[in-house]
Amino acid sequence: MNISKRVQALTTSPIRKLGPYAVAAKAKGKKVYHLNIGQPDIETPAQFMDSIRSFDEKVVAYGNSQGEPFLLEAIQKYYKEWGMEYNTSNIYITNGGSEALFFAVMTLCDPGDELMVFEPYYANYNSFAKTYNVKINAVPTSAECGYHLPSEAEIEKHITPATKAILLTNPGNPTGVVYTEEEMQMIARLVIKYDMALISDEVYREFVYDGEYKSFGQMPELEQNLVIVDSVSKRYSACGARIGCLVSKNEEFCKQIMKCCQARLCCPTLEQIGAAALYTTPKSYLEEVNQEYKKRRDTIAGALAKIPGLISSNPKGAFYVMVKMPVDDAEKFAIWMLESFDVDGETVMFAPGNGFYDTEGCGINEARLAYVLKSEDLEKAISILAAGLKAYPGKTN
């Protein structure tokens, strides 16, 4: 049977591609510290499962294509608490943030159009674009500048007539960067000047550790150009629930998104019930989680700072740090760590950096580390990483 060129052009996830090496390492009796995937170890609030257990309908019937009203209202209330006023008609429930991104790209871009991102960027953005034959237009950032945005003039050089949208994560994945007020104003000016869409992936909104967070949804000048992608996955440690949403005040966009929602019929009823319950979680839960991740951020940042020749991104949000390592090839180093290296039977797994870039040759000696482990485990993991860097035969200094 024929396999499409479109699907063959998709790339393997850098976050998961080395999984078989980790399985083999564990089969040999090694303990593997997983820094490769953003799976929080924080307990999901109990009301998620409690609300699902209380479901007593005799038939699990098709739900509303847009999403169940009780969940739309819960999300509307949540945004109001952030100072953003949306009607329920501006909110569309999706199967995780991933489907939200698929729908947004499909609705805003035609085949051959361009989606501007800032590399390194969340690797799956590549698949979301290529699935619809949309080209990634990658604007470089650097470890030396903390992965912050380049100048307005530099970004403008990359804009072409085919550039239909800017897609960014704030706070950032994989870098942990939180964009400044000046950077946000710069993006807003460019979006308005060229009448582009701005797809703002804000699933890490609660995970900001230095200063306060501002959403692009709090910038009224962007009202007709903005699409927000959101999810319960990281906020409430409910990655497997697969409930996300799209939020926009652009009526035409919403009208077209409804077609996408109808085409896939509906999102799971039980997960929507659970997600609505999550939105009743006390703010104290989120505050405690924020403090725990701040502690972990400080732990990993302090440990990384002690490694000679390593450059770290100094993350301000999310729970990732991008590092530039003194090695010839981070993917080879990652495989070597799993296959050939351990300290007292323990080793480390991380996501090689090249998968977070579109520009060929970039990110070869970089890696994304997810600080989703307890602080004592992070300290141990980074000490093993440091020992591995000393022993690795492909080190560069």
Query: CATH no. for residue 167?
Result: 3.40.640.10
| Residues 247, 361 share a domain | no
| Paired residues of 31 in beta bridges | 346
| Residues 202, 132 share a domain | yes
CA distance 297 to 370: 10
Element (H, E) at 343: none
103-112 pLDDT, tens digit per residue, is 999 999 999 9
Q: Is residue 326 part of a domain?
A: yes
361-381 pLDDT, tens digit per residue, is 999 999 999 999 999 999 999
At 357, which amino acid appears?
Answer: Y
Q: What does DSSP assign to residue 317?
A: B
Q: Which of 244, 278, 312 is the last residue of a domain?
A: 278
Q: How confident is the model at residue 29 (pLDDT cuts 50, 70, 90)?
A: very high
| Residues 311, 171 share a domain | no
Q: How far is CA 116 from CA 22, 79, 195, 385, in A?
A: 33, 26, 13, 34
Q: Which of 263, 278, 293 is the last residue of a domain?
A: 278
| Residues 137, 29 share a domain | no
Q: Is residue 266 part of a domain?
A: yes
- 205: nearest Cα among 370, 369, 81, 35: 81
Question: Which residues 6+ apart lie within 8 Å of 144 measured at CB?
Answer: 311
| Residues 51, 12 share a domain | no
Q: What does DSSP assign to residue 322?
A: E
Q: Is residue 396 part of a domain?
A: no
Q: How far is CA 315 from CA 57, 145, 326, in A?
A: 46, 12, 20
> CA torsion, points 249, 252, 256, 261, in degrees to nearest 10?
20
Structural tokens at position 314 = 């100094």
| Residues 162, 59 share a domain | yes
The predicted structure's pLDDT at residue 15: 67
The predicted structure's pLDDT at residue 38: 87
Specify the CATH number for the domain of residue 23.
3.90.1150.10
Strands 366-370 vs 320-324: parallel, antiparallel or unpaired = antiparallel
| Residues 184, 266 share a domain | yes
What's the average model confidence in pLDDT over 288-312?
Answer: 96
Q: Is residue 292 part of a domain?
A: yes
The predicted structure's pLDDT at residue 39: 86
**What mean pLDDT, rounded, does the chain reach?**
95
Q: Is residue 155 part of a domain?
A: yes
Structural tokens at position 65 = 């294509």
Under 8 Å between Cβ of 301 and 314: yes
Residue 82 predicted with pLDDT over 80: yes
11-20, 25-34, 128-137, 388-397: which range is least confident on average?
11-20
- 134: nearest Cα among 159, 156, 107: 107
What's the average model confidence in pLDDT over 66-82?
Answer: 98
Phi and psi for 245 in degrees, rounded to 5? -160, 160
| Residues 79, 57 share a domain | yes
CA distance 258 to 262: 6
Q: Is residue 344 part of a domain?
A: yes
Q: How confident is the model at residue 267 (pLDDT cuts 50, 70, 90)?
A: very high
Q: How confident is the model at residue 7 (pLDDT cuts 50, 70, 90)?
A: confident
193-243 pLDDT, tens digit per residue, is 999 999 999 999 999 999 899 999 999 999 999 999 999 999 999 999 999
Under 8 Å between Cβ of 327 and 333: yes
> CA torsion, points 164, 100, 76, 209, in degrees to nearest 10?
-90
Strands 163-169 vs 197-201: parallel, antiparallel or unpaired = parallel
| Residues 197, 103 share a domain | yes
Q: Is residue 397 part of a domain?
A: no
What is the pTM assigned to this prediction?
A: 0.95
Total of domains in the chain: 2
Q: How confident is the model at residue 16 (pLDDT cuts 50, 70, 90)?
A: confident
| Residues 150, 70 share a domain | yes
| Residues 204, 140 share a domain | yes
Q: Which of 254, 278, 302 is the last residue of a domain?
A: 278
R_g over Cα of the chain: 21
* Domain encompassing residue 328: 5-43+284-391
Owner of token pair 């698949």: 127
| Residues 309, 228 share a domain | no
The predicted structure's pLDDT at residue 365: 95
